[in-house]
Chain A
Amino acid sequence: MTDWIRELKAIVGDENVLVSPDELLVYECDALTIHKRLPRAVIFPNTTEHVSGVVKVLREHGLPFVARGAGTGLSGGAIAEAGGVIIELSRMNKILEIDWENQLAVVEPGVINIRLTQAVATRGYRFAPDPSSQMTCTIGGNIAENASGPHSLKYGVTTDHILGLEVVLPDGRIVNFDRHGGDALGYDLVGLFVGSEGMFGIATRITVRLIQLPQAVKTLMADFHTIEAASRTVSDIIAAGIIPAAIEMMDQATIRAIEESVFASGLPTDAAAMLLIELDGLPVSVDQESSRVIYLCRTNGACRVTVARSEAERERLWAARKNAFGALGRINADLMVQDAVTPRSRLPEVLPEIYRIAERYRLRMACVIHAGDGNLHPTLCFDGRDSDELQRVDAACKEIMELCVRVGGTLTGEHGIGVDKIKYMSLVFSEADLEAMNRVRTVFDPQDLCNPGKVLPVRRCKVF
């Protein structure tokens, strides 16, 4: 047994260290399986001190490391790209404190997103960021990727809900970043840390804002004959000054895949696209807005507009939407999901163009779209054993990205850059931009050990 393994076992205990290659195998990828790298070990710390001690040992031995939660990320962000050690935070999964008066909670990074909402829902609260993987993904992972979800349209993304962080820096020191009350003291290091994709350190204790559940919620479902009509409706709703809690779009391929799954909930399989629109707030304003929204759907040619009649029906619709990605496995087993962003106003022209790209490359595609904020998830469904098809997937992805950037959009809305989108970074950033980012990174991690190989492209033997 090598020294570093012995030292790690001394800190966290034998049962919290995996080193057998047979057991490391499952840790070679996250939810985007085309990127694989076997780690040298997986460590399960239970406390902040464990994390700090582990990081110090790894640093001494010059071993790179990466923090991991539930491994539901879709950019290869939690794989040991440099062949280092995975620090798995799933056992640090306690809700440490709920402060009802100040509407905040303190949690460990391995707490599953939905568990926090479940713990506070009985008293009328929730944790707002609700990524589709919220049944499984961890709050630590949400912080790394600055995750969002359908309801981010109205309630903002993860960083808007983080009030404080205890962080183990890449040299093992434990520090606290604070922005209690929403305003940071000194530099807003919470803002800097959230979305740093695990490259600035490991958050071990997280203070989050809890928000009150709305008094009234109304969920509408509208289906359309064309994607363009559905996209125009989205633009019209926003242009009318209405901010729904969420506007989600699903295309026909997605709807059909869901309807074949255990999450089938009577979605219209004959529609070219459907919108799931949620309005919330005070009962009177929800009623007013919903009649406006129904009117706008109708004027854009919606075939049917229906309103969820009960909380159970509403939950079923959301479960259907949130399980869409997995359901696409029914089209083909290997999925390449993109996370492109386009300005909302350009949706009606960009979407048909994306379908044309997929068609040109003879690829099957399904699309789910956080339409309200222009975040597209075109998902290419292919067979990874067919190398020709794999190449076509790659080429199509590149064209989709270039298209979105050309119309004023960007590379990622919520999945992060990870290893998957590094190759597109130069589409949106200049050398000077990348250099600035790299300088920030080296302040936190001068030895380049904390999740190396992610986000920033490496060129001419230097990182940026």
Chain B
Amino acid sequence: MAKSLLASNRIVSSEMEKLRACVHCGLCLAACPTYAELGDENDSPRGRLYLMRAVVEGRLSPMTPAFAHHIDLCLGCRACETACPAGVRYGRLWAAARANIAVHRRSGHLTERIERLVLNRLFVSPRRLQWLFAPARVLRQSCLLDRMVRTSILPPQLKTLLMLLRATRPPRIERLRLTTGPARGRDADRKALPSSRQPVALFVSCVGRELFQHTNRATIRVLQEHGCRVIHPYEQVCCGALHAHAGEVETARKLARKNIAAFERCEGDAIITNVAGCGAMLKEYEELLADDLDDRQRARSFARRVRDISEYLMEIGFRPGPRSLKVRVTYDAPCHLHHAQQVTKAPVELIRRLPGVDFTPLAEADVCCGSAGLYNVIHPQLASDILKRKLDNVRHTGADILLTGNAGCLMVLQSAVIEAELDMQVMHLIELIALTYE
């Protein structure tokens, strides 16, 4: 315990120079969803950095409930990084602060013990996750789930989880009223494909493997249509983002090393991900493993290969399929794609190139929907206030389909759309793209 406490203080101390980068101008405030809702400096990026600095300087104990509370209330959306002229790496500093809090909480509450158990015991092994999600998948298919969500006897937090599960059902394509346009010389397109089958590696992700197989299938289909041979190394594990955000940095590092080893062994330059949260984590492995020189080198080569599916398609020259889709769509940018990975243009560009698709931009598309891992389970009130604003903007677009690029956002948005009884389908951008090849 004493050793780990020291270690975590070192984490924050080593970040001190980066904390000093904040000049306190306050331009991040309006970009922060929690500050926008609460108006308290403690719940702004500038305020949280000030609290971290106070801890490092010894003016504030990291064990005070106030510190943990305001750091926990952060969504981790990193919109402040996009707004910051001084280039403060807020995401990293925040993760370090969470790690610091996690250490001091070791003897913590029951819920926190359960969280740690789930993260450090279940989410480290794909096999154990299968056991966890197999019953969930059965439940997802049954109408019992719909009934459970409607009853009032279940505790609200469990109900939120069930609603999220319901939201992972594959999109019902037949509901979409897709009209097929004239096929535009499909055979000619086929011939244009490069004859060499370019190998690419797919990062399947835990949620992808367990709940979003349809998204992974769509990704593979689109990549194949672009002449790629898709490989998914069997040894890959969870990306570790959940662990890093919860302050379980050591577990995150272990997972990172496993993934690096798994993908080093496989051919293919690019490592493709369709989950923005995983993508952001994978691209930051170098920083995660910065302490060890050898690890760091390997992490750097690994991270350079990682691409979100949208940016990869733009890179290799996107060719949509021949089918024209007569739908009106809008797009909500996942924070971990837009702010953390700074992939801002590719998804919109892909949508604009889809034949027949009518694209209406979403107001405040770059603002967090409040999903942020299990944020809506832990902070239900604030999450629902943030989500309400998102839903109002979504409603204004009048779209038939709301597109996004991250499993977490998709679940929260789909769940909200069902609750609000909107005639709208939420889906991953890649699933819509895949439909053009049908």
Contacts and interface: CB of A to CB of B under 8 A. Distances in A.
Whether A and B are associated in the same complex: the answer reads yes
Interface of A: 18, 20, 22-23, 25-27, 29-31, 33, 44, 70-72, 88, 90-91, 93, 110, 112, 114, 133, 135-137, 258, 260-263, 323-330, 333-335
15 contacts: A22-B60, A23-B42, A25-B50, A88-B39, A91-B39, A133-B25, A133-B27, A135-B30, A135-B31, A135-B83, A136-B28, A326-B25, A326-B27, A329-B25, A335-B23
Q: Which 9 A-B pairs have the closest CB atoms?
A: A326-B85, A90-B39, A329-B86, A323-B85, A329-B23, A22-B66, A333-B20, A26-B47, A72-B26
Given A22-B67, A112-B30, A136-B26, A325 B51 contact: no
A72 B25 contact: yes
Contacts of B64: 22
B23 A325 contact: yes
B29 interface: yes
Contact of A136 (B27, B66, B82, B86): B27
B40 A44 contact: yes
Contacts of A263: 85
B176 to A, nearest CB: 31
B15 interface: no
B206 interface: no
A203 B35 CA distance: 22
**Interface residue SS majority, chain A:** loop
Given A71-B26, A133-B26, A25 B85 contact: no
Contact of B25 (A29, A112, A114, A325): A325
Given A25-B51, A27-B41, A110-B39, A135 B86 contact: no
B378 interface: no
B23 A323 contact: no
B21 A25 contact: no
B134 interface: no
Interface string B26-69: 11111100000001111000110011001000011000101100
B20 to A, nearest CB: 4
B426 interface: no
A85 to B, nearest CB: 15
Q: Which of A25, A44, A114, A326 has the most CB of B within 10 A?
A: A326
Nearest to A71: B26
Nearest to B37: A91
Contacts of A323: 27, 85
Contacts of A330: 21, 86-87
Nearest to B19: A333
Interface string B81-95: 111111100000000
B24 interface: yes
Contacts of B21: 329-330, 333
B166 to A, nearest CB: 33
Contacts of A328: 23, 86
Contacts of A114: 30
A260 B67 CA distance: 32
A267 B344 CA distance: 22
Contacts of A261: 85-87
Contacts, number: 107
A262 B84 CA distance: 7
Given A22-B67, A23-B42, A25-B50, A260 B29 contact: no
B60 A25 contact: yes
Given A22-B60, A70-B29, A110-B39, A327 B86 contact: yes
A25 B64 CA distance: 13
A335 B59 CA distance: 22
Nearest to A115: B30
A333 B23 CA distance: 6
A26 B39 contact: no
Contacts of B41: 26-27, 71, 88
A461 to B, nearest CB: 33
A435 B376 CA distance: 57
A70 B26 contact: yes
Given A44-B39, A261-B87, 9 more contacts: A25-B51, A26-B41, A31-B24, A72-B25, A133-B27, A323-B27, A323-B85, A326-B23, A330-B87
Interface string B405-419: 000000000000000
Contact of A326 (B40, B82, B84): B84
B26 A25 contact: no
Interface string B384-422: 000000000000000000000000000000000000000
A390 to B, nearest CB: 15
A249 B26 CA distance: 23
A294 B252 CA distance: 57
Contacts of B81: 262
Nearest to A381: B23
B60 A262 contact: no
A95 to B, nearest CB: 15
A23 B66 contact: yes
B86 A31 contact: no
A383 B21 CA distance: 11
B22 interface: yes
A136 B42 contact: no
Contacts of B22: 329, 333
B25 A25 contact: no
A335 B28 CA distance: 17
Given A26-B41, A44-B40, A20 B66 contact: yes
A133 B60 CA distance: 29
A135 B31 CA distance: 9
Contacts of A335: 23
Contact of A33 (B24, B31, B67, B86): B24
Nearest to B81: A262
B20 A25 contact: no
Contacts of A334: 23
A30 B44 CA distance: 13
Contact of B24 (A22, A29, A327): A29
A31 B87 contact: no
B59 A25 contact: yes
Contacts of A72: 25-27, 29
A26 B21 CA distance: 17
A326 B39 contact: no
A329 B46 CA distance: 14
Contacts of B39: 44, 88, 90-91, 93, 110
A31 B46 CA distance: 10
Nearest to A29: B24
A263 B83 CA distance: 9
Contacts of A88: 39-41
Contacts of B30: 70, 112, 114, 135-136
A108 to B, nearest CB: 12
B42 to A, nearest CB: 5
A326 B67 contact: no
